[in-house]
Amino acid sequence: MSNRIVVDPITRIEGHLRIEADIQDGKVVDAYSSGTMVRLIEKILQGRDPRDAWAFVGRVCGVCTTVHSLASCRSVEDALGIVIPPNAEIVRNLMYCAQYMHDHVVHFYHLHALDWVDVVNALQADPKATSELAQSISNWPKSSPGYFSDLQKRIKGFVESGQLGIFANGYWGHPAYKLPAEVNLIGLAHYLEALEWQKEMVKVHAIFGGKNPHPNYLVGGMACSIGLDDVSAINAERLAYVGRLFEEGKRFIEQVYIPDLLAIASFYKDWGAIGGGLGNYLAYGDLPTNGYNDPSSFLIPSGAILNKDISTVYDVDLREDAQVQEFVSRSWYEYADGDGAGLHPWKGETKLNYTGPKPPYEHLNVEEKYSYLKTPRWKGNAMEVGPLARMLVGYARGREDFKEVVDMALAKLDVPVTALFSTLGRTAARGLETQLIANWAMDFYESLLTNIRNGDTRMADTTKFNPERWEASAQGVGHTEAPRGALAHWCVIKDQKLENYQLVVPTTWNASPRDPEGKSSAYESSLMDNTPIADPEQPLEILRTVHSFDPCMACAVHLYDEDGKQVNRVKVL
Amino acid sequence: MQTTTTYPNVLILGIGNLLMGDEGVGVHLAQRLAKQAFSPGIEVVDGGTGGFHLTDYFTSYPCVILIDATLDGRQPGTIRLLEPRFSSEFPRSMSTHDIGLRDLLEGLQVMGQLPKVYLFAVSIVELQEMYIGLSPEVEDVMPELEKRVKALAGQLVGEKISSSAQSPSVHRV
């Protein structure tokens, strides 16, 4: 006998995700992940000028707006054979680093921490003990007893009023919360401090991209100009400001995010054996230091790992027909040549065929099609993408900088390397890579200053901007590593217009339904891996594992289903 | 609504997804207003699907007029002016960007940094295809929406009411 529970929508994510899980003897024994909104951005792009695509895809999502614009520019540049100047590469990298630092911190504190931190319990903490604890794990200055006691007083009124969702809508008091009240109070304090901090970090986008949200990109380079004494350009004053933003960002990550992550993780080591799932990891790599066409120069290396075997890293080629393919046998689409086929994105098709139940419904028919997400596979394998995949590929490739931060965390937590293949590992990997990115950002910043001092202010190559210089037909692939995982845009250009445009986004890799062979993707597989459910009415454990992937359904799927998205948290049958 | 409180700066912030038809009504309005001249103190921003990226706008202005779409079952094109003080008072079915936005507003509330917020909520129907543009029902109310947003912004910065707008042009529906 098993119970089927439905969590719909999963809260604290961007977009709409539904999980159905079968529970037996207090554990998840089967799980289905469904995107119940549909995305049709591909249709909007068909027939448009390829040079404009970045602006449209940048609007897909509010969380990772820049990464879609980046992937789009790279895709078109790849098709047209455009190589951007070094400064444009550095500016893109700096915006990328700022995006990561912002996004990972916001995910940790505002979307994921409340799965581990019981904010209501924080009211029970002793401010003096909290202060001593905070000072023992970090030099961060906001740590006096008075600071924590003032915060408690302020929060008390809000908790009692029941008017704020963060205090009203959680599973507070759930037995799976294990932190002492003092750690909960530190977590709550930094939830609020991170909110204040993140608004500074995104200013990097406004400086280089002209505006935020949705900063400007340019096929061939970047749209900003450098002139140290020019009031309207990236001048000396703005560059100094960027330097300060990155320094302050790095300080917050080193003195707040990482110590909090390790402190919280030390109470949840059991989650180092929960939620691992596939054991297959895929990264496309990013942060080029010698051009997009030289993957060996990427600070985040590319590669694939199968069956948790970190002694072998496979090379990845996104152009090869048999490597990346999308299947629709369990998705509400149809292919011209039948649903059994897998299509490489250059030949991708986007034709809807909803065969699910008419809303409102109790259950999806999970034996047939049950999601608006397609199912991508790498050489036929289900793959996990995201921070854990990137850290493992870097680690397995023997990169010293990756090994240093990973080994530091393993030693501090006193857990074996196998603990990485888990929900805890996923959440830890996100923090550790933020640390790496914050370090690299300072290097990129120095390189930009050096180039400018040496008189190189080139920011774009416009020699091929004119469509008359293009081949009659061309195809390209633009890949990047979005904060939540490997992302690529494939474009086909014909007679100066986009003939086909396909996005395979990170959440599609992770949250997709089963493939024609019945193999689960990452969310389902992770939920089926040793996930306890203490209380089916409050499936906090499901949220922990799903949130550890940092779901962002906005670009995976779009558009609401017809049930008006009523909050229907859990159904026990 | 006749408001007597005035502010030195007022931000008109249109939010929504430009790729999702009527869902982008706030952005369409912001882009339209961005081409116009306003009294000193009134600024316009296209907030797109900004979420957390919009924090600085909320903390830099004492008063923000938000324009967004809602899927609330009302006649499409219905314009409502709300004064939400807590995220729980925002319409439940705001759009894809509501997750970040609600968390953001709650955090600002706790920190005592939430500005005065007016929300123009425009009712839309479910969309079946992504497209760029507005349906006739919503397009038809754009002039009224524009007029009401501008009148409220004017009142909030203490503009003198001109003879052509003697009666309060902004009121709760």
Q: Which residues of A touch B115 (CB under 8 A)?
A: none
Chain B (97-126) residues lying within 8 Å, Cβ to Cβ, of chain A: 97, 99-100, 102-104, 106-112, 126
Show contacts of A454-459: CB within 8 Å, 24+ apart: A456/A85, A456/A86, A456/A87, A457/A87, A457/A225, A457/A226, A457/A227, A458/A85, A458/A86, A458/A87, A458/A88, A458/A221, A459/A85, A459/A87, A459/A88, A459/A91, A459/A221, A459/A222, A459/A223, A459/A224, A459/A225, A459/A226
pLDDT for the residue numbered A207? 95
Calculate how close chain A gets to B88, using CA atoms only, in Å: 6
Judged by CB atoms closer than 8 Å, whether chains meet at A65 and B49 is answered as yes
Judged by CB atoms closer than 8 Å, whether chains meet at B56 and A199 is answered as yes
Percent of residues, chain A, with pLDDT higher than 90: 79
Calculate how close chain A gets to B94, using CA atoms only, in Å: 10
Domain map (residue ranges) of chain A: 3-556
Class of domain B10-160: alpha beta
In Å, what is the CA distance from A437 to each residue of A73, A298, A562, B159?
A: 22, 12, 41, 48
Judged by CB atoms closer than 8 Å, whether chains meet at B106 and A106 is answered as no
List, for residues B62-120, the tens digit of each pLDDT value.
999 999 888 777 899 999 999 987 767 776 555 445 556 777 888 888 888 899 999 99
Interface-testing mutation among A54, A63, A64, A569, with chain B (most B C-beta atoms within 10 A): A63
Return the ∠ at Cα A384 (arms to A381 and A389), rounded to 5°: 120
pLDDT at residue B168 greater than cutoff 90: no
Judged by CB atoms closer than 8 Å, whether chains meet at B19 and A560 is answered as no
In Å, what is the CA distance from A242 to each residue of A352, A439, A483, A502?
A: 45, 14, 21, 34
Sheet holding A485-494, edge to edge: A473-482, A485-494, A497-504
DSSP letters spanning A55-113: HHHTTS-SSSHHHHHHHHHHHHHHHHT----HHHHHHHHHHHHHHHHHHHHHIIIIIIG
Whole-number Å distance between alpha carbons of B93 and B96: 9
Cβ distance A429 to A423 under 8 Å?
no
Cis status of the peptide bond prior to A360, with omega within 30 of 0: yes
Judged by CB atoms closer than 8 Å, whether chains meet at B53 and A62 is answered as yes
Calculate how close chain A gets to B129, using CA atoms only, in Å: 7
Tell me the three state secondary structure of residue B65.
strand
pLDDT at residue A296 greater than cutoff 90: yes
Mean pLDDT of A39-58: 89
List, for residues A508-555, the tens digit of each pLDDT value.
999 999 999 999 999 999 999 999 999 888 899 999 999 999 987 655
Mean pLDDT of A433-446: 98
Whole-number Å distance between alpha carbons of B38 and B54: 22
The topology under which CATH files domain A3-556 is Cytochrome-c3 Hydrogenase; chain B (1.10.645)
Judged by CB atoms closer than 8 Å, whether chains meet at B100 and A61 is answered as no
> Left, alpha or beta for B21 (phi > 0: left; psi -120 to 50: alpha)?
left
Interface-testing mutation among B96, B103, B124, B128, with chain A (most A C-beta atoms within 10 A): B96
Whole-number Å distance between alpha carbons of B36 and B45: 12
Whole-number Å distance between alpha carbons of B170 and B151: 7
pLDDT at residue A161 greater than cutoff 90: no
Domain map (residue ranges) of chain B: 10-160
Judged by CB atoms closer than 8 Å, whether chains meet at B104 and A62 is answered as no
Q: Which residue in chain A has the smallest CA separation from B22? A: A559
Q: What is the residue type of A480?
A: T
Calculate how close chain B gets to A151, using CA atoms only, in Å: 9
pLDDT at residue B1 greater than cutoff 70: no
Residue A14 pLDDT class (50, 70, 90 cuts): low
In Å, what is the CA distance from A340 to each residue of A335, A356, A369, A552?
A: 9, 18, 12, 27
Is B49 near chain A, with CB under 8 Å? yes
Residue A74 pLDDT class (50, 70, 90 cuts): very high
Whole-number Å distance between alpha carbons of A391 and A422: 13
Interface-testing mutation among B28, B70, B95, B103, with chain A (most A C-beta atoms within 10 A): B103
pLDDT for the residue numbered B69? 87
Q: Which residues of B touch A14 (CB under 8 A)?
A: 51, 96-97, 99-100
Tell me the three state secondary structure of residue A29.
strand
List, for residues A87-103, the tens digit of each pLDDT value.
999 999 999 999 999 99
